[in-house]
Structure 1
Amino acid sequence: MPVIGIGTDLVHVPSFAEQLALPGTGFAGVFTSGERRDAADRPASLAARWAAKEAFVKAWSASLHGSAPVMGDEALAQVEVVRDAWDRPRLRLFGEVARHLSGVEAHVSLSHDADYASAYVVLSVE
Structure 2
Amino acid sequence: MESNESGAHSVCLFHRRPMICSVKARQGRAGGCGKYIFKERDEIMSLMGLGHDVVDISGFSQQLNEPGARLRALFSTRELRQAALRARMKHDDESLHLAARWAGKEAVLKAWCEAIAQLPRHTNAGEGSARAGEYPYTLDDFPWREVEILDDSRGCPRVILSVKASTALTDSLGVNEPGPGQNRMPVFHVSLSHDGSVASAVVILQMEDRPEIDGI
Fold shared per TM-score above 0.5: yes
Q: Is the 1:2–1:124 Cα contact (8 Å) retained in structure 2?
A: yes
Which one has the bigger strand percentage?
A: 1
RMSD: 1.5
Q: Is the 1:4–1:63 Cα contact (8 Å) retained in structure 2?
A: yes
For 2:146 and 2:195, how far apart are their aligned partners in 1? 26
**Which residue number corresponds to residue 115 of structure 1?**
197
Cα shift readout 1:50-86 (whole Å, capped 9, x = no counterpart)? 0000000010100111634221242322100111111
Q: Cα offset for 1:28?
A: 2.2
Bigger drift between 36-45 and 51-60 goes to: 36-45
Q: Which has the higher contact order (CA 8 A, sep 6+)?
A: 1
Match of 1:106 among 173, 185, 188: 188
1:101 aligns to what SS in structure 2?
helix
1:31-110 maps to which residues of 2 (within 5 A)? 31-40=75-84, 42-65=94-117, 67=121, 68=124, 69-73=135-139, 74-102=142-170, 103-110=185-192
Q: Cα offset for 1:95?
A: 4.1
Match of 1:19 among 49, 63, 66: 63
Cα shift readout 1:73-111 (whole Å, capped 9, x = no counterpart)? 423221001111110000001143210223210110000
For 2:145 and 2:206, how far apart are their aligned partners in 1? 21
| TM-score of the aligned structures, taking structure 2 as reference length | 0.55
Runs of 4 or more, structure 1, over 6 Å off, are none
For 1:49 and 1:12, how far apart are their aligned partners in 2? 13
Runs of 5+ consecutive residues of structure 2 not aligned to the other structure: 1-44, 88-93, 125-134, 171-184, 209-216
Q: Is the 1:57–1:75 Cα contact (8 Å) retained in structure 2?
A: no
| TM-score of the aligned structures, taking structure 1 as reference length | 0.92
State which structure, 1 or 2, has the greater radius of gyration over its C-alpha atoms: 2
Bigger drift between 71-80 and 11-20 goes to: 71-80
Cα shift readout 1:22-58 (whole Å, capped 9, x = no counterpart)? 1221212211111111111611110010000000001
**Which residue number corresponds to residue 207 of structure 2?**
125
Bigger drift between 97-106 and 55-64 goes to: 97-106
Q: Cα offset for 1:124?
A: 0.7
Q: Structure 1 95/26 Cα, relative in aligned 2: closer, same or farther at 3 Å?
A: farther
Bigger drift between 44-53 and 22-31 goes to: 22-31
